[in-house]
Chain A
């Protein structure tokens, strides 16, 4: 167990995501011309912290604590309710049932007809 913990401590200081992939994503941003080694390392590390933080926040607020699961809905709720995760609302939209969506479409049509 103690071995496991030291291994985890070690990992806190190093990174497991591939730096080259993170660089590719960063470079896909049109304004970015060059990135130094330290900035690349920090962004990669920050992404790992972000993944952990998002998973933890969603699990702790989510409905799955009883069933021991983390579901998509938990993540979508986090994006909607938590200010720091608000930038994720586009990529984590709330799920909506098809019949509700069709109903809202109908309502919109009716509104337009009224005009």
Chain B
């Protein structure tokens, strides 16, 4: 590990913003206090990682997973984080799935294009009846014309 020690700090600007959001408006947080909280956060990450890693090792797994992190929170007596963490994870997973679906959709569209070229005449009849085609369909039409030419 050749990283510089400051690489193990979290960015001060973000930490400051999170602190400000947690406290009532107008509270003054001393520079020393901000630095201390930031260091405490790094120690928290290490402590949580080490706890979670113990759970993974007990289960003879090499990769830390979500269950290990949640178990670590319980062990560290931060049970209060577990519910918000579960909720956040669900949203995060949905976001990931959303991204996947978008790329799936793109892939399907591409396949459809290929199908269109193979099955040109039938598609053409269908498209004649459609007004105001979507952008992607327009692309398909253009491509078909190229093929015909």
A42 touches B70 (CB 8 A): yes
Interface residues of B, count at CB 8 A: 62
Which of A32, A51, A67, A84 contacts B37, CB < 8 Å?
A: A51
| Interface residue? B141 (CB, 8 A) | no
- Bound CA–CA A38/B143 (angstroms): 41
Residue of A whose beta carbon sits closest to that of B92: A41
**Residues of chain A lying within 8 A (CB to CB) of residue B24:** 68
**C-alpha spacing A31/B44, complex, angstroms:** 16
Given known A17-B14, A38-B89, A43-B49, contact A49–B69 (CB-CB < 8 A): no
Shortest distance between the CB of A87 and any CB in chain B (Å)? 6
A-B interface contact total, Cβ < 8 Å? 195
Take A34-B62, A72-B30 as given contacts and tell me if A24 and B3 are in contact as well, using a CB distance cutoff of 8 Å.
yes
> Cβ of A32: which chain B residues have Cβ within 8 Å of it?
49, 53, 64
Which residue of B22, B43, B89 contacts A52 across the interface (Cβ within 8 Å)? B22
Residues 90-111 of chain A, each 1 if its beta carbon lies under 8 Å from chain B, else 0: 0110000000000000000000
The answer to whether A50 and B44 have CB atoms under 8 Å apart is: yes
Query: Contact string, A1-41, partner B, CB cutoff 8 A, digits 1/0?
Result: 00000001001111111100110111111011111111101
Is B149's beta carbon under 8 Å from chain A? no
Contact (Cβ within 8 A) B64 A12: no
Verify B1–A28 contact, CB threshold 8 A: yes
Q: Taking the nearest CB of chain B, how far is it from the CB of A19, in angstroms?
A: 11
Contact partners of B15 in chain A: CB under 8 A: 17, 51
Count of chain A residues with a beta carbon within 8 Å of a chain B beta carbon = 60
Interchain CB contact under 8 A, A45 and B85 = yes
List chain B residues, Cβ under 8 A from A56: 22-23
Other A-B contacts than A8-B21, A55-B22, A69-B28, 5 sampled, CB-CB below 8 A, are: A18-B14, A27-B1, A39-B68, A43-B69, A70-B29
Residues of B within 8 A of A (CB): 1, 3, 7-8, 10-11, 14-15, 17-19, 21-24, 26-30, 32-33, 36-37, 39-50, 52-53, 57, 62-66, 68-70, 73, 76-78, 80-81, 84-85, 87-89, 91-93, 96
